[in-house]
Structure 1
Amino acid sequence: MAEKRKLFEEVGEGAPAQAAPRGGMLDAGRRGARGAVRVWLMILFALVVLMIAVGGLTRLTDSGLSITEWAPISGAIPPMSAEDWQREFEAYRQIPEYQLQNKGMSLSEFQFIYWWEWGHRQLGRVIGLVWAAGFFGFLVTRKMPPGWTGRLFGLGLLGGLQGAIGWWMVASGLEGTMLDVASYRLATHLGLAFVILGLIAWYVTRLGREERELLQARRQREGRLAGWGAAFAAVAFVQILLGALVAGIDAGRNYTDWPLMAGGFFPPYPFQLEPLWRNFFEDDGLVQFMHRMAGYALVLFGVLLWWVARRSPNPATRFAFNAVLAMVLVQLALGILTVIYGAPWHLAILHQFGAVVLWVLALWARFRALYPVAQSVRGTA
């Protein structure tokens, strides 16, 4: 005979408790090695940041044209004998940079710029190997998180495209009367590097939280603030491209007065080149002027973005946008100092690194607006 239940007995009392699947249905299946993939992406992120810095120093030391051929595999081996060095030096002597600017350069001087460019290309090979080892390793061991194969394979494709664009850039300085690479090709090369860096940063941030958590957070997203954040990131990206144009023609080493340019608001004789469009890429005064104006616009946009973000009910989101504004102001100060002192290599690289930090912070702040961090009611403003 069945035992009578107590009046206040809890339903299910005495039955063995069954633990709910951790993470819910979205994370109950094969999760893959999310943590390991995230660490691998962090390594790639650090290597890409280093690559941007080495690329900047390669440009500042005028080393980018020292290797006159593109040999993705055999080029990994540097000259090993005196005959090899003479062969490389003779090839460099045939290009306009040597004939019009560096004629009489000694072999030791050539070796200095050669090693900079070789190191730049070698680092690119290392990044490719790290990507391939991680991607195919996770794929073969079936540790790839669901839905991430295409995204991570796309990073490899962009890396390969970056190598091809790098050679397309170098090739522009090997003929005619060019003393440097074409500035618009340099801007394309740097722009793609920042795209790759931004994607890696976004993926690292996304993998830092479970899919179930992201799905829940998206219900609380601040769409308007995320839209403002996307617009700010777009303006920041344009400013980065303009910075590449400045670097491409050494425009940062001219017009070293501030806030004026050669005593006036507008640089003198800005439209001397023909056809007209060339001035926006090759006239040092006009290119620096555009970079300055875009910088001022970015600062104003940063203040406006901060003003909009301060109304966010989420303190973590507000903190992210506060960091963006702080970095905008730091980058403005670095830019002014770089101009005033004629773009010495240490300030120029610091300014470029500031662009990296600002770019990543802008993406991080937008991510926080799209996927707010969970908070207690007490923490709500």
Structure 2
Amino acid sequence: MTQSGATSPAAARRIAIWLFIMCALVALMVIVGGATRLTDSGLSITEWRPVTGAIPPLSEAHWLSEFEKYKTIPEYEEVNFGMTLHEFKAIYWWEWGHRFLGRLIGIAFLVPMIVFMVTGQVKKPLALKLFGLFALGGMQGVLGWWMVSSGLADRVDVSQYRLAAHLSLAVIVFAAQFWLALDLWPSKIISVSRNLRIGASALAVGVFAQMVLGAFVAGLRAGRTFNTWPLMDGKIFPDGYFTANREFNDLFETMAAVQFNHRLGAYILAAAAIWFFIAARKSPLRPRANMLAAMIGLQIFLGIWTVLAATPIGLGLAHQAGAMLVFAGALYAAHGARGHSG
């Protein structure tokens, strides 16, 4: 048995390929989730039906029934009052697609996992990790409904805190799958300095934190305000960064604050990527450091473009997809720095 927990190098490669595919599906799930937010579709389905909800409305009567349920929530009354059934169908399909993709991911994970185990390609340590990943995926579904439920009673949208939690868990699932796939993928061992190991890990954590800050921007729709750069409407610290009471939660509850925090996070990541690029220039990590620096630079450019354009859907989704790619690059660098691969 290999140290990876697979019974053979061939089995390890097969499982790794499957996990990389799962990572792509999770990334797609994140992007579709971003689309539901940008199209204001997330509250169009007002019930959580994990099994029967997989079947969309199949008749006009069913569509009218779903529409009537939507009319009972504050978002319809205060934001979309008077919308037509045709307009409702448009937002419903986005949310249904998001939930259906979640179900598809669950099946795409569970069935191959069972096959790998039944055919004896995994041993207990790896099996426990795979079961843990499946459990995390199930928790993500529960957390998604917890997020949606926050917008069905007293609000016209979901809580930005719950949105950030929902995205965070999705990114954690992505990271765990990606890291395990790298562990299983055949590769040579490299050796780097302690500083590079710490720096690479810090960069990966920093990218994750920046994505969470981005979730607050999305949650408050802050990307459609302060559409200037490098200053925010002519100021370094924009108006509204804190309320008159200057409470700590202002950092996460005002559009000015969440966008400023996200911008600041990008500048810090840029500086860290430059340091890593310089520090790794004479180490085996140089190719990964070069790649990561380029990816972060392109992502910052895309973020600036997105803000200047007031976050149109296409650019917003491209920025979100870019974040997942940057995170994958950061994990790849951190994994190599830990001596697992080269």
TM, length-normalised to structure 1: 0.85
**Where does the alignment leave 5 or more consecutive residues of structure 2 unmatched?**
none
For 1:287 and 1:26, how far apart are their aligned partners in 2? 44
8 Å CA contact 1:338, 1:348 repeated in 2: yes
Q: Percent identity?
A: 43
Query: Are 2:117 and 1:117 equivalent residues in the alignment?
Result: no
For 2:249 and 2:73, how far apart are their aligned partners in 1? 23
Listed one character per residue, the Cα deviations across residues 271-299 of structure 1 (whole Å, up to 9, x for unaligned) are 22768234222210111011111111110
How far is 1:189 from its partner? 0.7
Q: Which residue of 1 aligns with 2:315?
A: 347
Q: Which moved more, 1:139-148 or 1:243-252?
A: 139-148
For 2:333 and 2:94, how far apart are their aligned partners in 1? 35
Structure 1 residues 37 and 116, CA gap change in structure 2 (3 angstroms)? same
For 1:231 and 1:26, how far apart are their aligned partners in 2? 26
For 2:37 and 2:319, how far apart are their aligned partners in 1? 14
How far is 1:342 from its partner? 0.3
How many residues end up aligned between the 2 structures?
A: 340
Q: Which residue of 2 aligns with 1:334?
A: 302
- Counterpart secondary structure, 2:241: coil
How far is 1:146 from its partner? 5.7
Q: Which amino acid aligns with 1:122?
A: F
- Counterpart secondary structure, 2:125: coil
Q: Which residue of 2 aligns with 1:233?
A: 204
- Counterpart secondary structure, 1:239: helix
Q: Which residue of 2 aligns with 1:45?
A: 23
How far is 1:240 from its partner? 0.5
Match of 1:69 among 22, 37, 47: 47
Query: Are 2:263 and 1:292 equivalent residues in the alignment?
Result: yes
Q: Which residue of 2 aligns with 1:132?
A: 110
Q: Which of the two has higher C-alpha Rg?
A: 1
Between 1 and 2, higher relative CO (CA 8 Å, sep ≥ 6) is seen in 2
Listed one character per residue, the Cα deviations across residues 142-164 of structure 1 (whole Å, up to 9, x for unaligned) are 12156311111111011001001
Q: Which moved more, 1:280-289 or 1:145-154?
A: 145-154
Q: Which amino acid aligns with 1:163?
A: G
Structure 1 residues 196 and 100, CA gap change in structure 2 (3 angstroms)? same
For 2:335 and 2:250, how far apart are their aligned partners in 1? 37
Match of 2:178 among 185, 189, 201: 201
Structure 1 residues 136 and 273, CA gap change in structure 2 (3 angstroms)? farther
For 2:225 and 2:138, how far apart are their aligned partners in 1? 35
Structure 1 residues 189 and 257, CA gap change in structure 2 (3 angstroms)? same
Listed one character per residue, the Cα deviations across residues 305-343 of structure 1 (whole Å, up to 9, x for unaligned) are 11211131x2xx210011111111101101110110101
Structure 1 residues 26 and 153, CA gap change in structure 2 (3 angstroms)? closer
For 1:73 and 1:373, how far apart are their aligned partners in 2? 41
Matches within 5 A, 1:73-92: 73-92=51-70
Matches within 5 A, 1:316-331: 317-331=285-299
CA RMSD, 1 decimal: 1.9
**Where does the alignment leave 5 or more consecutive residues of structure 1 unmatched?**
1-22, 375-381
How far is 1:348 from its partner? 0.8
TM, length-normalised to structure 2: 0.94
